[in-house]
Amino acid sequence: MGRIDDYLPALVMTGLQCVYAAVALFTRAALVNGLSPRVFVVYRQGLATLLIAPIAFVSRRKNSGRCSLGWKSFAWILLASLIGVTASQNLYFEGLYLSSSTIASAMTNLIPGITFVMTAILGLEKVNIRSLTTLAKILGTVICVSGAMSMALLKGPKLLNSELLPPKSLLDQGAETWLPGCLLLLASSFFWSLWMVIQVPISASCPDHLYSSTWMCFMATLESAIVALLLDKDPAAWTLNSLMELSCCLFTGFSLAGSFFVQTWCISQRGPLFTSMFSPLCTVIVTVFAAVFQHEETYTGSLVGALAVIVGLYVVLWGKAKDFEKMEHGMDPKLVNDQTRTVQVIVDEPADRTSEDDLQQPLLSDKSTNQGDMG
């Protein structure tokens, strides 16, 4: 009988995807109940900051080789917090509110393909048209984007809950909000991918990922608060009017902070590629539970599109797996060095990408950070 340690990383990652799915479903219900997406981001980031900051403080006290946060590092972290947290998270949760938890979860699987395109343009990813792995990554990216377009534009006939829905379902926002919601989720994935790229200079200028992440989360809280104050002028929007809204903020804040430890441990045990392979599981869980418990409508185009996104994701990951195999077999040291600086994506909670998570990736080791589904 095999040891439990051999299966523990897989069991942990499965559990983590269940948590991400719960965040997507729970948050969607709270948003439809009246919670402002912008206020929710502020509370969520603020709670995560309060949880992470003491850990970062204790870590720096124990670590004699502390890194200083110069102006260059601060500028990069400020940009990352503005793009990858404030913009990405506000777009994601607004898109989640306007579309559905199923679509939001599926859209996060676009992040590896989008990041591949960005890193290829910036020269961080080696592109050789004659290479099978490069062709696989290009094909996977095209499939992912095509699937996302299918979800947004080709809803098709209803498959589930076409007749079971009450006249005014809790999660029925109308067809007119579907396309804007999908576009916002696409924009969120784009900003999250850009955030992943920015992690390269941040890791180079500030190797202490826990310290930089704390600053990033703190600044994102302030930035998100400014956005919420500008867009939600009614002071009542800041009031949590139900136990559901309060529980949602607490649950997502704790899960945001806790998932960092879980995912970084899994990456240290099995590598970044192993962790990213579990991201489509969140989409499957959300789809099933949203249809059964929240009576979300399931459309043919959405289902086919989500399947295409997942297939495209695995094609991209297959290409990256082959790249890592070549590195392990002792290829050109210069190529190996270039590849280890390539930005990869760990797709976490949608949101929840999900989520994507905005605290997870910068806390990885140098090797893992350059690894991503979000959410």
Assign 294 a pLDDT band (cuts: 50, 70, 90).
confident
% residues pLDDT > 90 (the chain): 12
Assign 91 a pLDDT band (cuts: 50, 70, 90).
very high
Q: At which residue do the structure tokens 């720096």 appear? A: 60
- pLDDT at position 375 is 38
SS (H, E, C) 96-109: HHHCCHHHHHHHHH
Give the helix ranges, DSSP H, for 329-358: 333-340
Is the pLDDT reported for residue 63 higher than 80?
no
Assign 350 a pLDDT band (cuts: 50, 70, 90).
very low
Is the pLDDT reported for residue 142 higher than 80?
yes
Report the pLDDT averaged over residues 268-282. Answer: 70
Q: Using CB atoms within 10 A of its CB, is residue 234 exposed (0-12), middle (13-18) or buried (19+)?
A: exposed
Q: Which of 60-74, 156-170, 198-212, 309-323 has the lowest mean pLDDT?
A: 156-170
Is the pLDDT reported for residue 359 higher than 50?
no
- pLDDT at position 10 is 79
- pLDDT at position 308 is 84
Which distant-in-sequence residues (6+ apart) come within 8 Å of 278 by Cβ? 13, 14, 16, 17
Which distant-in-sequence residues (6+ apart) come within 8 Å of 243 by Cβ? none
Closest CA to 41 of 94, 79, 77: 94
User: pLDDT tens, 8-59?
Assistant: 887 888 888 898 889 888 899 899 888 999 999 999 889 988 988 888 888 7
Contact 74, 239 (CB under 8 A): no
Is the pLDDT reported for residue 330 higher than 60?
no
The whole-angstrom separation of Cα 108 and Cα 356 is 6
- pLDDT at position 175 is 57
- Token reading at 176: 């007119």
Which amino acid, residue 272? P
Q: At which residue do the structure tokens 């539970």 appear? A: 289
The whole-angstrom separation of Cα 134 and Cα 130 is 8
Is the pLDDT reported for residue 305 higher than 70?
yes
Q: Please state the φ and ψ torsions of residue 265, each to the nearest 5 degrees.
A: -65, -45
pLDDT: is 104 or 320 the higher one? 104
- pLDDT at position 38 is 93
- pLDDT at position 357 is 40
- Token reading at 234: 């009614």
Number of neighbouring beta carbons within 10 Å of residue 85: 25
Is the pLDDT reported for residue 296 higher than 60?
yes
pTM of this structure: 0.74
CA 279 to chain centre: 9
Report the pLDDT averaged over residues 233-242. Answer: 88
- pLDDT at position 351 is 39
- Token reading at 321: 């797996």
